[in-house]
Structure 1
Amino acid sequence: MTETIAIIVFLASLFLMLGMGVWVGAALLGTAVIGMSIFTSTPVGDSMAINIWAGQSSWTLTALPLFVWMGEILFRTSLSETLFRGLAPFLGRLPGGLLHVNIGASAVFAAISGSSAATVATVGKMAVPELRKRKYPEKMIIGTLSGAGTLGLLIPPSISMIVYGVTVNESISRLFMAAMIPGILLAACFSLYVIVWSKLNAKRVALIEHEKTEGNLFKNLADLLPVLCLIGGVIGSIYSGFATATEAAALGVLGSLILSFVQKSLTWESFSESVMQAVQTSCMIMLILMGAGFLSLTMGFTGIPAALAQHISALELSPFTLIILLTVFYIFLGCFLDGLSSIVLTMAVIEPMVRAAGFDMLWFGVYLMIVVEMAQITPPIGFNLFMLQAMTGKGIGFIARASVPLFLVMCAFVLVLVAFPEIATWLPEILQN
């Protein structure tokens, strides 16, 4: 009975503050303070100070602001133009033409920035005008960019994956290894959808002005080489064991500074903007983590996670049924919260449940990133939808409808991941051995 009352108080406090427009991190902290004050005799100030310091002083967490800064530096370079110019002659040969560039460029930039929003903004800034000029259907332009832009959450180095790893105390390097193959396969599934669409709409495809592909392929490879070297340096240093995730992030910042200097896009103004934006983004994420960590501690004192885990266990759900319920739950939650908030807000309750069900936490991390990706294109609060609305001038309804096929592709991929968990667990096991 006490746990039920506590859940009602927690949820009412949280949604009241969120509804009033309070920052997510501050709302989490406020909810934790209310809950601890009502349901425990523990000193609130002492517990908050100890919990926040322990959580924020993690060495692993230092990778997060570095990867954010790396993405901000590259966001201010001519990278999107370079990617489009380099990928177009290769991907333009596939059925569906330059729509594949949306997907390929998003996958490549996701491997650099680690941010879904930055991926959509950077790739879309270059790709949308070019594809419109060539008379590609508006729904396909927006839909492929909306879906592929979410790859920033999955393909390493992913900021959300770092937050998940810190929250559940899993190795960031191993999580990055687990996410690599699923990220590539999901991008390939998006491209497969474009190919199928082009075959089913041959008359519409015939009206598109196709890119000429007789250009100098060596020149196109040269355009891609700096980006590929940066990705190889960051990810390769982690997978080879040469560097930790934090050290690789520092290498990535150094590489992005060198790349922007070579491209002559690094000015004192752009450098200052990248630093300030990275600080703002990192502070926002850290505040959410502070609130989530303290809320998790408070809920632990009230016994809510253990009680819920026992209740779920008593239902004797099969692992597949549990995953279906969690998928629906996270998609619903994504209608109201951003992906990062969804992860940190729920892990205190979900983690014991998932571990008790026997799921590999590396696999679950990959699954969670894909489900949270789906929430990024789910109205009313789908951040990729808002980003595309600002860039294209289209309404949220139009963008959401254009994103539905890619949403269904991700749903199908979740089923594949459940049926073949080795997709996520194989690479970490091989590299560890």
Structure 2
Amino acid sequence: MELATLAPLLLVVLFATLAAGLWIGFALIAVGLVAMVTASSAPAELVFATRVWGGLTVWDLTSLPMFIWMGEILVRSRLSSDMFAGLAPFTRYLPGRLLHVNVLGCALFAAVSGSSAATTATIGRMSVPELTSRGYDKTLAIGTLAGSGTFGFLIPPSIILIVYGAATEQSIARLFLAGLVPGLMLALMFSGFIMAWALLNPSKTPDYEPGEDDGQSLRAFLRLLPVVGLIAAVIGSIYAGVASPTEAAVIGVAGALILASATGAMSWRGFADALQAATVTTCMIAFIMAGAAFLTVAMGYTGIPRALAAWIGEMGLSPYALLAALTVFFIVMGMFLDGISIVVLTVSIILPMVTEAGIDPIWFGIFLVLVVEMSQITPPVGFNLFVLQKITGEDILTIARYAAPFFGLLCVAVAILSVFPQIALWLPGTLN
């Protein structure tokens, strides 16, 4: 079958299976089978078995279920509420006041969760009722949460960075370190926007509430120490070279269990629920990766990736033009697929042309995650929007409108990272 006919056929099969409600992993397998049957005489069942086994038996992926389990344990502990209470006193003098707790809380929780949806849900359940009851502007209260919830993808330990590293055979430790500085930069940009908005709209920010003395601030700070200590144990062990990402994940799970037990928030039922939730999430990701691994090989038989790479090569795009085109492409993909699906579905096709253009694959992983973060707050398939819809009762399009300024800030962050790549590459370069 000609490529001009085969490519549209595969797109129709993909969107038809997704529209029918088929799980993403199985939809990718279906597209791969169609590609194998129509474009190759190779035995599809043998190719499927060998490729799926090879794609999932990757040592780096062993850290994935551990980091997911760590996040599930912490969601069920008092750590998140302690973190919110600990951050609040330190934002009372900043323009925007408690709105900064959304940004800081998401940044801290992302560093022990690794999941964008978990970060948004956990911080949102606490902050949205608190902010609305105190009279904060609903638009910014929800918008900051939608934008800041995406930190779970970028700030390590990031689940999507583990998936990217396994798919591209890049060092997960270096990817984790590469995400730190851009994550902090993004948090500062969000807080800067909040301060500018508060100064321009003073009537929409509640008055300062007195009553916090130094003793209360100290007690609040002490409540932050557990989460800061857990972050230091996980990320610090990787940076110091004493633990691999998999070993650091085990340290994180052990620390999360100790913290949950110390606060009395982890019952045997909660332990079982956390383990079950982590298992379900890990299996979901594994199915997606299995389907993407098979589809990648099937696409190789069709010749579509080679034709696409040749077409882009003939266009003679500069690295910046290529990145601009990929940004638009990933934003459009993000309107229909979740972040992990985007990465595993596209990276094997796109990475060769990216490296051919002289772009560092570690840097490209951070660029990709930043762009995929945008997909979390773009309708119709924006996972953070779905989470916030459940929390706030607002419709998807309204929440997307609230999140629009932070979508713009993500675009600015991508531009800054493209012009100054050392923002992402400096810290990994210090790792021996």
TM-score w.r.t. length of structure 1: 0.97
Q: Indicate the residue corresponding to 1:214 in structure 2.
A: 213
Q: Which one-letter code corresponds to 1:101 in the other structure? A: V
Q: Indicate the residue corresponding to 1:132 in structure 2.
A: 132
Higher mean C-alpha deviation, range 298-307 or range 223-232: 298-307
Q: Aligned to 1:378, what secondary structure does the other structure show?
A: coil
1:113 and 2:113 aligned: yes
Q: Indicate the residue corresponding to 2:402 in structure 1.
A: 402
Deviation at 1:215, TM superposition (A): 4.5
Q: 1:10 to 1:211 in 2, by over 3 A?
A: farther
Q: Report if aligned partners of 1:334, 1:372 keep a CA contact under 8 Å in 2.
A: yes
**For 1:161-176, what aligned pairs fall within 5 Å after superposition?**
161-176=161-176
Deviation at 1:300, TM superposition (A): 1.2
CA distance in 2, matches of 1:6, 1:348: 19
Q: Deviations over 1:338-368 (max 9, x none)?
A: 1111111111221112111111111111111
Q: Indicate the residue corresponding to 1:238 in structure 2.
A: 238
1:58 and 2:49 aligned: no
Q: Aligned to 1:276, what secondary structure does the other structure show?
A: helix
**For 1:355-394, what aligned pairs fall within 5 Å after superposition?**
355-394=355-394
Q: Indicate the residue corresponding to 1:431 in structure 2.
A: 431
Q: Report if aligned partners of 1:90, 1:213 keep a CA contact under 8 Å in 2.
A: no
Q: Deviations over 1:370-415 (max 9, x none)?
A: 1111110001111101100100111212211110011111111111
Q: Report if aligned partners of 1:160, 1:340 keep a CA contact under 8 Å in 2.
A: yes
Q: Which runs of 5+ in 1 are unaligned?
A: none
Q: Which one-letter code corresponds to 1:4 in the other structure? A: A
**For 1:214-363, what aligned pairs fall within 5 Å after superposition?**
214-216=213-215, 217-363=217-363
Q: Which runs of 5+ in 2 are unaligned?
A: none
Q: Report if aligned partners of 1:92, 1:211 keep a CA contact under 8 Å in 2.
A: no
Q: Report if aligned partners of 2:68, 2:278 keep a CA contact under 8 Å in 1.
A: yes
Deviation at 1:259, TM superposition (A): 0.5
Q: Indicate the residue corresponding to 2:178 in structure 1.
A: 178
Q: Report if aligned partners of 1:67, 1:252 keep a CA contact under 8 Å in 2.
A: yes
CA distance in 2, matches of 1:86, 1:215: 13
Q: Which one-letter code corresponds to 2:429 in the other structure? A: E
Q: Deviations over 1:154-173 (max 9, x none)?
A: 00000011111111110100
Q: Aligned to 2:381, what secondary structure does the other structure show?
A: coil
Q: Report if aligned partners of 1:89, 1:211 keep a CA contact under 8 Å in 2.
A: no
Higher mean C-alpha deviation, range 369-378 or range 77-86: 77-86
CA distance in 1, matches of 2:428, 2:190: 25
Q: 1:187 to 1:407 in 2, by over 3 A?
A: same
CA distance in 1, matches of 2:62, 2:268: 25
Q: Deviations over 1:301-321 (max 9, x none)?
A: 222212111110100011111
Deviation at 1:3, TM superposition (A): 2.7
Q: Report if aligned partners of 2:334, 2:372 keep a CA contact under 8 Å in 1.
A: yes
Considering only aligned residues, what root-mean-square deviation do their CA atoms show, in Å?
Answer: 1.2
Deviation at 1:279, TM superposition (A): 0.5
Q: Which one-letter code corresponds to 2:295 in the other structure? A: L
TM-score w.r.t. length of structure 2: 0.98
CA distance in 1, matches of 2:93, 2:62: 42
CA distance in 2, matches of 1:332, 1:67: 29
Q: Indicate the residue corresponding to 1:8 in structure 2.
A: 8
Q: Report if aligned partners of 1:238, 1:245 keep a CA contact under 8 Å in 2.
A: yes
CA distance in 1, matches of 2:92, 2:23: 43
Q: Report if aligned partners of 1:32, 1:298 keep a CA contact under 8 Å in 2.
A: yes
Q: Deviations over 1:265-314 (max 9, x none)?
A: 11011111001110000000000000001100111122221211111010
Q: Deviations over 1:73-127 (max 9, x none)?
A: 1011112210111111112221110100000000000000000000001001111
CA distance in 2, matches of 1:212, 1:58: 54
Higher mean C-alpha deviation, range 32-41 or range 136-145: 32-41
Q: Which one-letter code corresponds to 1:171 in the other structure? A: S
Higher mean C-alpha deviation, range 346-355 or range 384-393: 346-355
Q: Report if aligned partners of 1:85, 1:220 keep a CA contact under 8 Å in 2.
A: yes
CA distance in 2, matches of 1:371, 1:351: 15
CA distance in 1, matches of 2:299, 2:322: 22
Q: Report if aligned partners of 1:146, 1:388 keep a CA contact under 8 Å in 2.
A: yes
Q: Report if aligned partners of 2:132, 2:138 keep a CA contact under 8 Å in 1.
A: yes
Tell me how many residue pairs correspond in the alignment: 431
Q: 1:211 to 1:7 in 2, by over 3 A?
A: farther
Q: Aligned to 2:264, what secondary structure does the other structure show?
A: coil
Q: Which one-letter code corresponds to 1:23 in the other structure? A: W
Q: Deviations over 1:23-42 (max 9, x none)?
A: 00000011111111221111
Q: 1:214 to 1:88 in 2, by over 3 A?
A: same
Q: Aligned to 2:95, what secondary structure does the other structure show?
A: coil
Q: 1:293 to 1:404 in 2, by over 3 A?
A: same
Q: 1:211 to 1:88 in 2, by over 3 A?
A: farther
Q: Indicate the residue corresponding to 2:27 in structure 1.
A: 27
Deviation at 1:211, TM superposition (A): 6.4
Q: Aligned to 1:431, what secondary structure does the other structure show?
A: coil
Q: Which one-letter code corresponds to 1:275 in the other structure? A: L
CA distance in 2, matches of 1:320, 1:184: 24
Deviation at 1:4, TM superposition (A): 2.6
CA distance in 1, matches of 2:414, 2:424: 12
